[in-house]
């Protein structure tokens, strides 16, 4: 019986709150706090049990500490924005409350995301005997745990990993992003980058394109992107020689994005309009559909997973480990589309393992550093079943 404090009442916050509410045997008390308490109340009204709500500015450490001291949670799940990672980690450290998030820290003024600042908390968390679990969504999150599971159970050595993120969903809008548009567009318009033989190799944005036939979705164009889990996995998977990340985009999406980019709408650099300073990307976010509103409109499935290529018992082996998730089934269950669902469910599953002591430790951990087996045992019944498909080791599905 534990008390959980959830910060952030967006698409993912809604799923996390629903999923925690489905498990009163673990989460006996829930408090959902966000910048705008009305959004918390709207989510609370969808549930058939009572939860608390609160207003908090998560950029403000003192405000967070005051909220934590008044609610006294056993664990905090941070699903606000990556800009708040450091303030929330600081507040958890000061109050001795275990922390879990789904995205690494982003600098609000630079299109830059990295683990450096969060890893810098390692010594202080370790000294204080507090645990922080980083990146426990789907990607990062589930994909890291698939890698750790493959490393522990399926391979003696993994040489190459390709992370494949396919969204075959259609929301019917000409252009919308499935999660926070500002974060999403910044991620996609940055240079591509992958890791090979200890070096980072840069590619221009969306320059590398392949086709892949996804189970449950069909053939899709996939584009090479830099994604944050590459930073930790390249360090934590032993013997790794190359790791890349690929994501599907439709032609329609790429065309809209190119036009927006060409006219300067994806820039984060503030400009002056009628005496007001505004960032074009923040303005774009304000006019695009709210990701939380896509749920009832989205049809189709996601297929996200990893292809690992390596050696088992002296022989080459290649496997595809993935989950297929149906947007409409997610909406029926928690009133949200699959992107928020596939992020929120691993977060709650990770929180359960931290609360029952299965995942324990003092310090800051990326999820692949924790035991993948209990997570993989539980995640199917939590809503994200997975499968392992053997591939022909000589065949390159990404050629
Ligand atoms: P949303 O934009 O839908 O929700 C973010 C929420 O955080 C909003 O309710 C917002 O409030 C709130 N918030 C923003 N700033 C503050 C603040 N200073 N204080 C308190 N609350 C604040 O985003 P998503 O739900 O789509 O994403 C949530 C997180 O999940 C992000 O960090 C995102 O990067 C991550 N993510 C991770 C994925 C993964 O697979 N690992 C995939 C998808 C998302 P308001 O409503 O007032 O704006």
Is residue 110 over pLDDT 80?
Answer: no
CATH number for the domain that contains residue 121: 3.40.50.720
Look at residue 208 and tell me if it is in a domain: yes
State mean pLDDT over 197-215: 95
Sheet with 363-366, side-by-side order of all strands: 52-55, 27-34, 2-7, 75-78, 99-101, 131-134, 363-366
Phi/psi of residue 93, each to 5°?
Answer: -60, -45
| 256-294 confidence digits (pLDDT tens) | 999 999 999 999 899 999 999 999 999 999 999 988 788
Q: Check whether residue 220 and residue 274 sit in a common domain.
A: yes
Euclidean distance between CA atoms 74 and 56, whole angstroms: 18
Q: Determine the pLDDT at residue 196.
A: 98
Look at residue 343 and tell me if it is in a domain: no
Q: Is the CB of 11 inside a 6 Å radius of any atom of ligand 1?
A: yes
Of 78, 103, 134, the one marking the end of a domain is 134
| 114-155 confidence digits (pLDDT tens) | 899 999 999 999 999 999 999 999 999 999 999 999 999 999
Q: Check whether residue 171 and residue 291 sit in a common domain.
A: yes
Q: Tell me the whole-structure pTM to 2 decimals.
A: 0.95
Q: Check whether residue 325 and residue 195 sit in a common domain.
A: yes
Span from the CA of 389 to the centroid of ligand 1 (angstroms): 33
Of 85, 113, 134, the one marking the end of a domain is 134
Mean pLDDT estimate for the chain: 95
Is residue 111 over pLDDT 70?
Answer: no
Ligand 1 probe mutation, 9, 10, 33, 335, most atoms within 8 A of CB: 10
**Number of domains composing the chain:** 2
Q: Check whether residue 34 and residue 155 sit in a common domain.
A: no
With H, G, I as helix, E, B as strand and everything else as coil, classify residue 278.
strand
State mean pLDDT over 23-27: 98
- Nearest atom (ligand 1) to Cα of 59: 18
Q: Is the CB of 78 inside a 6 Å radius of any atom of ligand 1?
A: no
Look at residue 46 and tell me if it is in a domain: yes
Q: Determine the pLDDT at residue 112.
A: 73
Look at residue 42 and tell me if it is in a domain: yes
Q: Check whether residue 321 and residue 295 sit in a common domain.
A: yes
Span from the CA of 58 to the centroid of ligand 1 (angstroms): 11
Q: Determine the pLDDT at residue 116.
A: 93
Q: Determine the pLDDT at residue 362.
A: 98
Distances (CA, A) of 301 to 7, 214, 325, 342: 28, 10, 5, 11
Span from the CA of 179 to the centroid of ligand 1 (angstroms): 8
Look at residue 367 and tell me if it is in a domain: no
State mean pLDDT over 178-185: 81
Q: Check whether residue 257 and residue 130 sit in a common domain.
A: no
- 8 A C-beta contact, residue 267 and residue 280: yes
Return the DSSP state at 1. Answer: -
More confident residue, 108 or 355: 355
Q: Check whether residue 178 and residue 257 sit in a common domain.
A: yes
DSSP letters of 92-122? HHHHT--EEESS--B-TTSS-B-SHHHHTTH
Of 116, 134, 152, the one marking the end of a domain is 134
- Nearest atom (ligand 1) to Cα of 142: 40
DSSP letters of 57-98? -TT-HHHHHHHHHHH--SEEEE-S-GGGHHHHHHHHHHHT--
Euclidean distance between CA atoms 372 and 291, whole angstroms: 30
Which domain, by its residues, includes 327? 142-336+385-391
State mean pLDDT over 163-170: 96
Span from the CA of 81 to the centroid of ligand 1 (angstroms): 4
CATH number for the domain that contains residue 221: 3.30.360.10
Ligand 1 probe mutation, 5, 33, 34, most atoms within 8 A of CB: 34
């Amino acid at each position: 019986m534990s008390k959980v404090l959830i910060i952030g009442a967006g698409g993912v916050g809604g799923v996390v709150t629903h999923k925690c509410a489905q498990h009163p045997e673990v989460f006996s008390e829930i408090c959902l706090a966000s910048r705008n308490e009305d959004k918390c109340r709207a989510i609370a009204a969808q549930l058939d049990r009572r939860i608390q709500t609160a207003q908090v500015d998560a950029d403000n450490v003192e405000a967070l500490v005051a909220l934590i001291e008044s609610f006294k949670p056993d664990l905090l799940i941070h699903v606000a924005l990556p800009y708040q990672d450091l303030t929330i980690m600081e507040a958890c450290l000061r109050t001795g409350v275990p922390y879990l998030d789904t995205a690494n820290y982003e600098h609000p003024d630079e299109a830059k995301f990295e683990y450096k600042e969060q890893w810098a908390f390692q010594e202080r968390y370790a000294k204080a005997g507090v645990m922080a679990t980083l990146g426990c969504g789907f990607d990062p999150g589930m994909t890291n745990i698939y890698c750790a599971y493959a490393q522990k159970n399926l391979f003696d050595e993994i040489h190459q990993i390709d992370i494949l993120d396919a969204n075959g969903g259609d929301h019917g809008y000409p252009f919308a992003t499935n999660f926070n548009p500002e974060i999403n567009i910044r991620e996609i318009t940055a240079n591509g980058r992958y890791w090979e033989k200890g070096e980072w190799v840069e590619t221009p944005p969306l320059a590398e394109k392949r086709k892949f036939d996804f189970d449950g979705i069909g053939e899709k164009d996939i584009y090479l992107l830099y994604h944050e889990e590459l930073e930790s996995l390249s360090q934590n998977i032993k013997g790794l020689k190359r790791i890349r990340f690929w994501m599907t985009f439709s032609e329609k999406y790429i065309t809209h994005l190119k036009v927006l980019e060409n006219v300067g709408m994806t820039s984060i650099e503030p400009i002056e309009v009628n005496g007001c300073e505004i960032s074009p990307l923040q303005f774009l976010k304000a006019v695009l559909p709210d990701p939380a509103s896509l749920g009832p409109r989205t049809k189709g499935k996601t297929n996200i997973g990893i292809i690992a290529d390596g050696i088992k018992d002296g022989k080459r082996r290649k496997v595809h480990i993935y989950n297929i998730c149906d947007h409409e089934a997610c909406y029926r269950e928690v009133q949200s589309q699959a992107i928020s669902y596939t992020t929120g469910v691993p977060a709650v599953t990770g929180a359960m393992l931290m609360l029952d002591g299965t995942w324990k430790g003092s310090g800051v951990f990326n999820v692949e550093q924790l035991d993948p087996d209990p997570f993989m045992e539980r995640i199917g019944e939590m809503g994200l079943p997975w499968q392992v498909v053997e591939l022909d080791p000589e065949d390159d599905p990404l050629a």
